[in-house]
Structure formats: structure tokens, C-alpha cells
Amino acid sequence: MHYGSAAMRLHVMLLDRDPRVTGLAARPLELRWHVPSGVRAHAPQLMLRLADGQGVFADCTGRGELSWHQRSLAAVVGEICTAAGWRYWVLGPVDPIYRRNVTWLAGYRHPRHHGGQLLAGALQEAFAEPAPLWEGVRRIGDPLVVLPALFHALWAGRLAADLGAPMHERMSVWAQASE
């Protein structure tokens, strides 16, 4: 299968943000099986552990349509995974606007951007009801301090916004419901 490292990098970033994913490994093993012409092999790009305990092998592609060869390989790998009690995913193209937004937010992934408990609480309060990003930021304080914490909270899922639309200062932001 043709898979690009850029597609894999993108999907690792998206999976890192996905609350369903609790563990991730790259190229953890190689599957081998017999076919009439000999032995076939494939090393799935990713192995995931989901919060519900389920295991998933995944391959990443940047293309929308898989070739016949790719579809047949994916079908065999899917059968092998099902027999072992795992799932198999082929992770395809991602909406370009969503990709750009999440890539931007990933720059604020590191905990140093959290801003502390007081700022995190202020963000939750300011966006308890959906509000324009800039309006909420200005209510809290200095944008140079507040914006990194807001972007970190959006990355971490404590705040939400429509990431399928271009990010801008008037976009609506809201606090996620507590679990």
C-alpha cells in the first residue's frame, strides 16, 4: 500500500487529540500470511488502544480512493484483525480546514501553555455559554497571556469550537461539559 509519512504524521497528531485513544505505537509488527504465489506481508502503520480496551491497527493514506490492490490488502488485514479480536482502520484524507486548525492548535499542546488553574477556570467561566473568541479573551485579561491558554484548552478539548471552519477572532467558543 502506498502510504506517505505526511499522512501518518497528520493522523498521529489527530489521534493524540482523540479522547478515545489511550495508547499508540508506530509499526508495532509485521503480519505475514500465505497466498497461492507465496507469502504476503504487511506492517500496519499504527496500533491503537482505545479507552474501551479495544485494539486497533491502522494505516494512513492521503488519498481518497484506494487502488484495487490497496483495497484487497486492506480487506485481508481487516480479516486478520477481526480474527484476532481487533479492529482495522484505513485513515484517509482529512478536511483541509480542519487539518490546518488542529495543526495550529497542536502548537499549543505542551502543558506550559495551560496557564494555571486560575486561568483555566476563567476560560471555563468566560465560555460557559458560547461566545466570540476575542470577546471572551478580552473579558479575562491580557490576550498575550490568555490566547495560549485558550488554544491549549481547545487542543485538550476543555473548550470547543467548530474546527471545520476557519479560525478567527469572532468564532464561537464554548466550554465542554464536565465528565
Phi, psi angles (nearest 5°) of residue 158 = -75, -30
- Would you say 77 and 44 are in contact if contact means Cβ atoms under 8 Å apart? yes
76 — pLDDT class (breaks 50, 70, 90) = very high
Contact at 8 Å (CB) between 44 and 31? yes
Q: Determine how β-strand 131-132 pairs with β-strand 172-175.
A: antiparallel
Q: Which residues pair with 59 in a beta bridge?
A: 90
Cross-sheet strand order for the sheet of 131-132: 131-132, 172-175, 159-161
Cell matching residue 161? 469550537
Q: Which class in CATH covers the domain with range 5-91?
A: alpha beta
Is pTM, for the whole model, over 0.95? Answer: no
pLDDT value for 169: 96
- 8 Å CB contact between 98 and 163: yes
Provide the pLDDT for residue 62. Answer: 81
For residue 1, is pLDDT > 70? no
Asked whether the beta carbons of 174 and 161 are under 8 A apart, the reply is yes
Q: Where are the domains of the chain?
A: 5-91, 96-175
pLDDT at 178 over 70: no
- Given a cut of 90, whether residue 179 has pLDDT beyond it is no
- Can you tell me the distance from the alpha carbon of 70 to that of 156, in angstroms, rounded to the nearest whole number? 34
Q: pLDDT confidence of 4, banded at 50, 70, 90?
A: low
